[in-house]
A and B are shown apart, each in its own frame.
Chain A
Amino acid sequence: MIPQRAPILELRGITKAFGGVEALRGVDFALFAGEIHGLVGENGAGKSTLMKIIAGVHAEFSGHFALDGKDTRFRSTRDAHAAGIAMVHQELSVAPDLSVAENVFLGTQPTNRFGLVQWRRMAREAGEQLAKFGIDVDPMSRLGDLPIGMQQLIEIARVLFSGARIVILDEPTSALSPPEVERLFATLRRLRDEGCAIVFISHFIEDILRVSDTVTVFRNGRKVAETESAATSKAALIEAMIGKGSEALGETYTDDIMLPPPTDRPAVLKADELTLARSLQDVSFEARGGEVLGIYGFMGCGQLELARILFGKIKPDRGTLIVGGEPKTFASTAAARRAGVAFVPESRRAMLFHQEPVYKNISISVLGRISALLLKPARERSIAARQVEQLQIRPAAVELELGMLSGGNQQKVALAKWLSYPPRLLVLCEPTRGMDVGAKNDVINIVRDLRAKGLAVIVLSTEPETVLSLADRIIVLKRGAVVREFTHEMVSKDRLLQAA
């Protein structure tokens, strides 16, 4: 399938470091006109970094970069655009309040000689071009009124119409329904046949295998495999992605581990058929005291929404929550807090007050218990000091402004705020993301302590290691639905990835 001619894009020995950490180490990569090239690898394996180099986002790197056989250096994304390279990022970047036609022609609207926009021509051409890709919408309708999947298709269409001959798609299918995925694939195949080169990044290995001609696998900043799609399988790709043996430092969770038998304690929380438009479909599970429930899935699988439903931030369209035996509909996060639920979001920025001292960050969750009307700053400080000592937060100064602490220590503060008067259920999103090994182990130990005290803990993560290192029971979410539950059985990273 690979055409036997010179590559349109050729990279050799690409190395890129961020602050001393090597994200890419001597990677070779070639892309041919008329091929769809799939990229797989875990989070942080280097595939996005490489694509950002190609799209001109990262201008600083070492190695050899040739376009059409000529040495090239992009200084910015504008240079890359001018050379016909376009990237569709995972997050939508459309203008929802503009019409479909305006989005298609964003920045390149047809104008007459007075500089006025030719609306009728724009609408007609947008309609024609979208129709070519099987998208049948009124070009003058507001983009934001369309389903997310359709918006994503239109964004992709815009990039394709801009005349790009190299198109990079980062996780394009995570928000799409199966028929929309089919439509996207049909479009990609047609573009390939017209001579475009397409890079397709996805966590969904089945999708990669179905649409791409070639697959490249990344691990730890290195390219570890490149094969024809027809000649490989999901299991082989997963094995290449995560590697066997202990190449990386620390535990890799590549071997099977045995989940403990389920506890017979009563359920602290029971979720029954939670459904949220475009995010969740009939999600049901139980969280029991003294147990850590892991919820694993790829980015965009509905985890973020699920966690926010549990803490009263989002109301589900359908389904019930039963907390401590009583059905609850949380009117606010304060109501969820009163019912004994605590929540640590995936982003520290959304959790902490960077301008305030550490002790105020810790005491905020207990003010209601320790003071009726007047604050008791001495009491707050002593509570905070105890947490700082127990969790070994460094530097151990409760008066210090939170923003002065390192990321790992900030994460511990985020946990500390819930520990002075522990809740019945603790919901943790990505509790160890971006942490070094030491801080990770500290967090793991904190969660184990809480479990020993009888708390129910729910850990939601897109990193299999996080779930495997913490959970006693694991459920896997895929496109908003529970697809697999692991209870008292063997589980490993590749089994999780297989399920998702």
Chain B
Amino acid sequence: MLENIYTELIAEHSQSRENRRTLPNATVKERGHNPSCGDEITLELAVVDGVIADAAFSGTGCAISQASTDMMIELMRGKTVTEAQKLAELFIAMIHGDITDDAELDALDEVAALKNISTMPARVKCATLAWHTLEQSLNK
């Protein structure tokens, strides 16, 4: 069970520092918080002409929430706001186990590897924190 969750991919992305910074040209700044566990992130986006030109984050949390945030940022770079909203919806549906078809999840690219977390109800909110934060920031 553990090897399906704490994969190389999660280890790599949770320990990566590349996307942990602040954006001097941020157009959107959104805080996300899981009050029950204390995980907290600040997501920053630089949206130019309806396209997410750059994204970064800061904050603390478990490996799942940190890796999920890091992978989300890499997926979102270069996407339009509409594409980003669709991808966030898709990811959240995957983690809740509502969409299981791999072909449908193709659009999530590498992030689809987080699918196994849908089998761990206690960790669902860790994986979705960044994505809910993204949805909130884009709906503004």
Do chains A and B stick together as partners?
no
Residues of A within 8 A of B (CB): none
Task: Give the A-binding residues of B (Cβ under 8 A).
Answer: none
